[in-house]
Amino acid sequence: MTFAETDVRGRRVLVRADLNVPLDGETITDDGRIRASVPTIKALAEQGAKVVVCAHLGRPKGEPNQKYSLKPVAARLGELLGREVAFSGKVVDEELVDGLKDGDVALLENLRFEPGEESKDDAARRAFAQKLAGLADLYVGDGFGAVHRKHASVYDVPELLPHVMGGLVAAEVEVLKRLTEDPERPYVVILGGAKVSDKLGVIANLLTKVDRLLIGGGMAYTFLKAQGYEVGQSLLQEDQLDQVRGFLSEAIKRGVELVLPVDVLAATHFAEDAPYEVVAATEIPADRQGLDIGPKTRELFATKLADARTVFWNGPMGVFEFEEYSGGTRAVAEALIRSQAFTVVGGGDSAAAVRRLGLPEDGFSHISTGGGASLEYLEGKTLPGLEALQ
């Protein structure tokens, strides 16, 4: 059941949202997650609920830290909703909630200011969950970016209150089922980002499901090294080489086309203004480091995406934060926009890159709000937050 099928008028509704946005001081540099949370919050308020939103931001490690306050988020959420969002700076605020009228919206302070939120101790976590549950009559789970965490607000509170799935989480689950249960083929996955170790489980699982796997970003250099090539000063995880050799063998065995970069931008050092030369991916000079895929690889990846019917993309192709090294990530994103496939951007840095590069978000079938949650779902793991809601 979702909140849309529930009578919420006059009820105190606790919404677990994902408002974990990047901040520069008090300035929000990417409000994508706030905008994604608005439809559920707005619908509940318009239906006459007293809406109490809770969320986390950053890693304050169980104690108050103004650097991670949700105060700027409350202001931006209010702008997007077109109504005031009450905010007192307390994590559990009975007085604030008692003062709400039907249709009002309040935001609690950062959940992670309380050690019970992330505690590994079941009793400590449950004690904090009971305080949160005491604020409401109904729980709406809508923070997809946190559903892979066994945290009080995600896992324990829905056990204490009547609970339903929010619109955002319902949409994310529907997309992920489409990627895992019977994807239209050819099914192509593009993986990038810094570390192979972050994606071991998902690669192993995807090799049993996909037709084609394109590897870019920092993790590509461990694949190239595993094939015996020099990668210079490029990002490398030596301890993952045997694992990666296993992936290469498994891909051949299963008939999965595993595509690696054929050229890279090899920079003199890691800096925005570092000079570079385009070199073959198999011939990176010992004193250089690859910071982006090269022009031939961009064309190759675009070709490998052209006939796809389903595409999942997670992880940038290079250091997209540096203008000079953002071209590979842009090329992949633009290939997806041109594609006729069902295209899913898997949250995290990929979603941030789409917005940072000024690309049209409606050019993709779906942009996920949860990078880690999406990957764990594709890995076949049970997500505690979804388990609690279902």
Question: In terms of domains, do 159 and 208 share one?
Answer: no
Cα first-last separation, the chain? 9
Question: In terms of domains, do 187 and 161 share one?
Answer: no
Question: In terms of domains, do 351 and 205 share one?
Answer: yes
Residue whose pair of structure tokens reads 């990530």 in the numeric block: 329
Question: In terms of domains, do 254 and 155 share one?
Answer: no
19 assigned to a ligand binding site? yes
Residue 307 lies in a domain: yes
Per-residue pLDDT of 208-225, as tens digits, reads 999 999 999 999 999 999
Annotated catalytic residue, options 195, 296, 356, 381: 195
At 348, the pLDDT band (50, 70, 90 cuts) reads confident
**d(C-alpha 192, C-alpha 352), whole Å:** 14
Domain boundary among 141, 166, 191: 166
Per-residue pLDDT of 275-321, as tens digits, reads 999 999 999 999 999 999 999 999 999 999 999 999 999 999 999 99
Per-residue pLDDT of 135-187, as tens digits, reads 999 999 999 999 999 999 999 999 999 999 999 999 999 999 999 998 999 99
Domain boundary among 166, 187, 222: 166
Quick one: average pLDDT of 319-338? Answer: 96
Residue 3 lies in a domain: no
- The confidence score (pLDDT) of residue 1 equals 59
- The confidence score (pLDDT) of residue 195 equals 84
290 assigned to a ligand binding site? yes
Of 225, 219, 176, 222, the C-alpha closest to 198 is 219
**d(C-alpha 306, C-alpha 49), whole Å:** 46
- The confidence score (pLDDT) of residue 352 equals 87
Q: What is the CATH number of the domain that holds 114?
A: 3.40.50.1260
Residue 7 lies in a domain: no
Does the annotation count 33 as an active-site position? yes
Question: In terms of domains, do 151 and 195 share one?
Answer: no
**d(C-alpha 196, C-alpha 199), whole Å:** 5
- The confidence score (pLDDT) of residue 370 equals 84
- The confidence score (pLDDT) of residue 2 equals 66
Residue 371 lies in a domain: yes
- DSSP secondary-structure letter at 68? G
Question: In terms of domains, do 261 and 355 share one?
Answer: yes
Task: Flag whether the pTM goes above 0.75.
Answer: yes
**d(C-alpha 319, C-alpha 228), whole Å:** 24
Residue 4 lies in a domain: no
Residue 5 lies in a domain: no
Question: In terms of domains, do 135 and 261 share one?
Answer: no
Residue 228 lies in a domain: yes
Comparing 71-75, 82-86, 196-200, 206-210, the range with the smallest average pLDDT is: 196-200
Question: In terms of domains, do 190 and 307 share one?
Answer: yes
Per-residue pLDDT of 250-268, as tens digits, reads 999 999 999 999 999 999 9
The tally of domains found in the chain comes to 2
Phi, psi of 53 (to 5 degrees): -95, 135
Does the annotation count 89 as an active-site position? no
Domain boundary among 146, 166, 186: 166
Helix 371-378 / helix 167-180 crossing angle, nearest 10 deg: 40
Question: In terms of domains, do 198 and 276 share one?
Answer: yes
- Report in angstroms the alpha-carbon separations of 239 from 27, 198, 243, 252: 39, 13, 8, 22
Question: In terms of domains, do 56 and 128 share one?
Answer: yes
Residue 1 lies in a domain: no
For residue 21, give its domain range.
12-166
Does the annotation count 358 as an active-site position? no
Write down the mean pLDDT value for the chain.
95
65 assigned to a ligand binding site? no
Token pair recorded at residue 11: 């009820």
Question: In terms of domains, do 105 and 194 share one?
Answer: no
Distant-in-sequence, close-in-space partners of 121: CB < 8 Å, separation ≥ 6:
none
141 assigned to a ligand binding site? no
Token pair recorded at residue 42: 């707005």
Does the annotation count 330 as an active-site position? no
Annotated catalytic residue, options 217, 327, 328, 348: 348
Per-residue pLDDT of 36-81, as tens digits, reads 999 999 999 999 999 999 999 999 999 999 999 999 999 999 999 9
Question: In terms of domains, do 227 and 205 share one?
Answer: yes
